[in-house]
Each structure stands twice: as structure tokens, then as C-alpha cells.
Structure 1
Amino acid sequence: MKRTIYLSIYEKVKQKIINGTYAYGTYIASKRTMAEDYHVSLVSVEHAYDLLSEEGYIEPVERKGYMVIYREKDLFAGPVKRTAAKKSTLLENHEYIAYSTLAKTMRKVMNDHGEEIMLHKDRQGMLEFRRAIAAYLARSRNIYVSADQILITAGAESAYSMIVEMLGRYRIYGIEKPSYEKIEQIYLSEGVHLDHLKMGAAGILTSELERTPASVLHVTPFSSYPTGVTADAGKRQEYITWAKKQNAFIVEDDYASEYSPSTKTEETLFAMEPEQAVFYMNSFTKTIAPAVRISYIVLPGKLKAKLLKEVSFRDCGVSAFDQLVAAELMNNGSFEKHLNKVKRKMRKMK
């Protein structure tokens, strides 16, 4: 079965659901009808429907077919049935990149770059590294940005502080309740006011979004810790709609999304709104090794110049050597090879 066939069907049906052709509560075409309409195999359609179901666009109903469950929840009231989420174990992940691979890459970087690894480079992060991240994001996350939109930081804690520096301490920052405790600790240490927003089965409750005075929303759409909740398609759209209506910002903390066992790329908020509202951030601590304290922030396209000016005095804090090693792992395929190995293992355990 060709991957491009089922993904093409997935995209076409998804767009029809989003634009209302397939309305909430109605049933989409049967698998057999869809296969005949698109002249593809039944297996391809089944796989496309599995992905749509997994992401919260449709759900199977016995003897009836597949019902549309996607809707912008801020515009339509009423809950959608969801299975209770399991506690996230991603923060306890120990599937790091092989020591032999890391050691080999380090030796290559030392041989290729020599004394360059001892020099102090661009405050924003080395251009070679930022280009490697941009290429990786395009391949794996459907995020298309230039290297100058990427800001390297020394770990997630440093990234949170950098975001406060860019957006301001006068704002109220909304965070998930419960959430990873360091998010709250770092924001409080920066002197900002927090609003704790209760979580539901698909993400932050609509009622919480409606009442909050926050102008910055910090969310972990993929497997929020410790609840394990993953925001479904409707909730992700609700976050974007909220930000646009409130003229607010979203910090999309996408930690460990690389370990999604899904065969399809997880949709990001940044890919949905790349120009104005969303800051995307991720880290290599859980994917390469705990000692690799490197995170990065992707800035919204229209605001990058203004935002970079706000932190022009800050240094990324990551050595040239560490940046070059991470870039080499991404460029030579070792990074994605490692991720794919872990995801295959997780699919077997599922």
C-alpha cells in the first residue's frame, strides 16, 4: 500500500469535514463507496479512516459507519465522548540515541570542524544548526520556516524565560491544570501572573478558555503531562480561534511528540497558524540524551524581527560543539532513524 494514497484520501476527507461538507453528527461515505469513488483499494481507505478516527475527526458507530465528531467547540456546545486518557509516561522515557552513534558523531564533528568548536558563535544559535532544524521540521512536522525564525536555547527552562522576555511580564499566562510542574515554577520565577486552566478529555475545557483573562496560552497538545491528554482536531482549532479572537498568543510546547506511534505526522498548532499567534518549541533532551540541554523556539513569521530585538542581548547558552553534533545527527539521518526505531517499538506495545 502506498503511503501517498491513504494520506491523500485522509487530507481530502479532513478538508471536507473542516469546511462543513461533512457536518458534525453526519456520516461520511462508507469505506467501499469511498474506495470506488477514488479508484483505490479498500485497505487504503481503511487506513485513512483509522487516521481520521485517531485524530478525532470521525468515530466508528457499529452497523452505521463513521460519524463526524469534529467541531469548533467554542461555537457549538456539548461534549464529545472520549476514552479516559492514561497517565503520560513520556517524561520517563529512556529511549535515548545509542552511545556508539553519539560518540561516532562527536568524533566526526571534531575532525570536520577542528578549532571551530571552541569559538563563540551567533547569539541566536549557529546557522548550520538552525538550518538543520528547519529542514527536519519541514520533513517531519509539516512546519515550513526559515532558519532566522529559529532561536536556540539551553534547555526548556531557558526557552520559557526567553518567551517571557519576548512577550512581557505584564501579561497573564494561562497554563494547563495539571501540568508539568517546571512550567509553573519557571513562569513564577520570571514574575508573571498565572491562570490555571482545567483540563478535559480533549484538552483545556471550553469554559476555562471562555473565562480566562490570559493573553498567553501555554499548551502541550501532544500527550500533556501528567494526564496523557492529546488535544483532538476540534480542540486544536478551538485554541487557534481563541487566540485570534483575543488577539492573544499560544506557546505550543511540543515535547516528545516525535515519539507518537502514529504513522502520520501529528498536526501542530504552528502549522495551522504560522504567521502571528503561535510560538512552537521543542527539546532534544528526551530524544538525544539528558545531557544534551538544547531546546529551540520557532517564532511566528510576521513578528520575528520585533521578537528577536527583544532578546538581542541574550545568548543561546549552547556550545558550538553541542550544536554541531545535534546538526550532524539530524543531517546524516541518525536522529530520525533512532526516532523511527522507538516508534516501531511503541506500536508493537500498543
Structure 2
Amino acid sequence: MNYEIDGTSRIPAYIQLYQMLRSDIIAGVYSYGSKLPSKRTMAEETGVSVITIEHTVELLCEEGYTEARPRSGVYVIFKKSDFQGMPAVIGMEHSLTGQWMEAAGKSWETEPMFDDRSGSGGSSALNFPPKSAHASVPAFSYGSSAAKVHGHIHLHTDSEFPYTVLAKTMRRVLLDYGERILVKSPNDGCAELRSEISAYMARSRSIHVKPDQIIIGSGAEYLYSLVAQMFGKETVFALEDPSYGKIRQVYEAYGIRCDMLPLKPDGIASEDLRKTRATVLHITPFNSYPTGISVGGTKKQEYLGWAAQRGGILIEDNYDSELTISGRAENSLFSMTEQENVIYMNTFSRTIAPSIRVGYMILPERLIEIFHRRLGFYSCTVPAYDQYVLAELLRSGDFERHINRVRRRKRKEKKTENFTKR
């Protein structure tokens, strides 16, 4: 490890080492699956403290380049092959941090950006290949926000999933699963996907559940309908006001009375929570639409206390929560209580693509039997093939690597925004 730390630089030593290690990982010096030298070895060879090395390793793990395995070491999980045909990755081994600082004429205090992109124009490292890479296949649109230019589609989403990774996974499922993709899915979803979601939730959100607590369905609206039918129209629901309009529309379509509670900057006001007659509270604790409000730990505890005091249920709608720009995912209400009074919901339409109409609902164990008794006759609305593809994306780590890339890019964009305001 021939890395030289510049002691005269204003850039902290752990960032310098991070940049050098990242460049070598991208260049293939440390290939996918290889083990990095031990922290003590790196400290001795670079002349810095073990604490500095720990900061470097933590940043590499957060950015999706490596993962730390207990009692084993730190391993590379970055695969450049995932981005073959994607021009935004070409030349990304040249760090943008130094280029950005030089162009801006600023010192380290201006908060450099960590990013894997190169070139100009602000193109995303997650952009799809140009037309020439798929000459016979027209570009496709992620939702209505896509703009047509010269008859082709330019994507306008902030979480584009690498097309090459998705296509490779789909081909692998066709080959490996064979005729199993033609078999009807179990009513609550394929065991493979439910098992992978269970493992993913434990890793990423500290939510430890059994696969049989997970119900697979075709998107959030379908899951809302299941909740409405499970509790029945005699139950009063409380919703954030304002909130995503289809939540109320779906519930009212099933005869549910919805009590709209005004959403304040820190969440629903305590007085309004006390006054409502509802026993089910549907909330979006992270980045609530359309206000963008995220509630803190104190308000989350208040929501949990509200449910416990009246024997109620919280529906934690965590759409968009993976894309937080913080170093760690937001604490979920489900993981903060043992009272079994939280139903967790999320979908893959935001993190992969709007066309992926797959969502999942995690039930507390005490509601599993009730759900199956009342609604177990419903067939799963997601084809088995789609479920196997998602299971493989989770199992391989491709999904989590994608999430880390998007969060890294969003952090960089936030730092750019803060810099331009100075």
C-alpha cells in the first residue's frame, strides 16, 4: 500500500486516504470481493492512527464501495462491470474533489463533494447508456416527468436504477429459475422475496421480522386497500393533512371515515392526536408528501405512545425513506417498539422505477392470523417472475449498492446547493 498522506494539505488525512483507496477500488487494484489490508496494517504503512483508518473505512462502507464483515475484515463490494456501457462512469477514477476545489478556488472549509462522476454538465453516474448502446431499443420513460427531446426520452428522476444491472438480473432469473417463473405465486408472495426483504430490513433498518410477517402486493395503493378491508369501515382512520391524496381516496372508497389532522413542522400536533376518535393513524414519518416534513425521535415516541394508550395501530408509510442523505437510514417506528402496534409499508417504485409496481407490508405477529382469516383468499397481484428479480437484486447486494450511490449523489448535490448559497 504505497499511499502518501500530505501533512500540509487542508484536506483531512482520512479523506485523502479515502480518495486514494476509492480510486484504486474503481481502477480494479482492489477487485470485487477482495479483502482490504487490516486497519492496523494500513495505519502502519500510511503513518496515520487507527482511528483515522476507521474513519476512512466507515466512509467507504457508507458510500457503497466496501462492507465490513464481523470478525473477518473489510471487503470490496464495488463492481465496475455493473456500469458497462454507461459513459458517466468512464474516467471516474479521477477524483472530482480536487477538481471541484480548484475550479471553485476554495479551501477545504467549503465542503468538497464526494462523487464518482467525471466530465462536465452534471451528468449522473446513474444515467442510462446513450442510444448507440441500445440501438434497437428505444429509450423508455420513468413516469410522466420525462421530457422528449428529438423523439427520444431523457430521464428526470433522482433514483434511476442502472439498466444494465436490472437487465442482467432479469436474464439470470430466466436462466436460473427456469419454469418456476410460470408457477403461480403464493397468496402472500414468493418465499424467496419475503426472505430477502426480511434480511434486508434487518440489515438496513434494524427491523427483525419473520418472512411470514411480510405481504407482497402491487404497490402502495393495493396495500392501502388491504389495510382498509382488514380493519373494516367501522374503524376510524386518522391521516396527516396534507398527505398523499390517494391514501384518503382508497380508504374512503372502502367506506372508511378519515379524520384529517393538521401537519405541523414537527408532525401532528399533540392536541389533535388527543382529540381524534381514530384508532388507526396513517403517517409518513420521513419526507411526507407534499410538505417534505420528517418527524424526529420525540414525535415518533409520541405516536407510539398514542397507539399504546388507546390500543390503536400505526401505519408507517415509509415511501422514499431509503433515499435519506444522512449517513444512516432513519429509525423506523416499527423498530422502536415491541408493542406490536405498527404496520410497516414500503415500495420499490421509488428506489428502482415507477414501473416496478411492487410493494410490501410488514404485519406485527398478532395481526398475521387476522389478516389471513379475513383476506388470505386474495391471490398475490405481483407475477412470480417480478418477485424473483427483486429477490435476486436484494440477495446480490445490487439494490443496496444502488441505494448508497443515490444517497451519495444526493449528498453531493446538497453540498453543491449549500456552496452556491454562500
Which of 178, 188, 191 aligns to 2:242? It is 178
Displacement after TM superposition at 1:273 (Å): 2.0
> How big is each residue's C-alpha offset from its partner over 1:87-118, in whole Å with a ceiling of 9 and x where there is no partner?
xxxxx844221111111100000000111111
2:395 counterpart of 1:331: yes
Matching residue of 2:317: 253
Displacement after TM superposition at 1:274 (Å): 4.5
Displacement after TM superposition at 1:302 (Å): 2.6
Separation (CA, whole Å) in 1 of partners of 2:346 and 2:240: 17
Separation (CA, whole Å) in 1 of partners of 2:219 and 2:201: 18
Alpha-carbon contact 1:275-1:301 (below 8 Å) kept: no
Aligned residues: 267
SS in 2 for 1:322: helix
Matching residue of 2:214: 150
SS in 1 for 2:177: helix
Matching residue of 2:295: 231
Which of 342, 345, 351 aligns to 1:278? It is 342
What letter matches 2:201 in structure 1? L
Displacement after TM superposition at 1:169 (Å): 1.7
Alpha-carbon contact 1:93-1:286 (below 8 Å) kept: no
2:333 counterpart of 1:269: yes
What letter matches 1:141 in structure 2? R
TM-score by length of 1: 0.73
Displacement after TM superposition at 1:307 (Å): 2.3
Separation (CA, whole Å) in 1 of partners of 2:392 and 2:198: 14
Displacement after TM superposition at 1:301 (Å): 2.0
TM-score by length of 2: 0.61
**Which runs of 5 or more residues in structure 1 are unaligned?**
3-39, 48-91
Alpha-carbon contact 1:275-1:303 (below 8 Å) kept: no
What letter matches 1:310 in structure 2? R
**Cα distance, 1:234–1:93 mapped onto 2, change above 3 Å:** farther
Matching residue of 2:9: none
Which of 290, 303, 308 aligns to 2:372? It is 308
Matching residue of 1:105: 169
Which of 128, 149, 167 aligns to 2:192? It is 128
Separation (CA, whole Å) in 1 of partners of 2:328 and 2:351: 19
> How big is each residue's C-alpha offset from its partner over 1:102-145, in whole Å with a ceiling of 9 and x where there is no partner?
11100000000111111102100000100000000001011000
SS in 2 for 1:316: coil
Matching residue of 1:288: 352
Displacement after TM superposition at 1:265 (Å): 2.6
Matching residue of 1:349: 413
**Cα distance, 1:96–1:309 mapped onto 2, change above 3 Å:** farther
> How big is each residue's C-alpha offset from its partner over 1:123-173, in whole Å with a ceiling of 9 and x where there is no partner?
000001000000000010110000000000111000000111222221111
Separation (CA, whole Å) in 1 of partners of 2:338 and 2:329: 17
What letter matches 2:295 in structure 1? A
Report which structure shows greater RCO (CA 8 Å, sep ≥6).
1
**Which runs of 5 or more residues in structure 2 are unaligned?**
1-12, 15-50, 59-155, 415-422
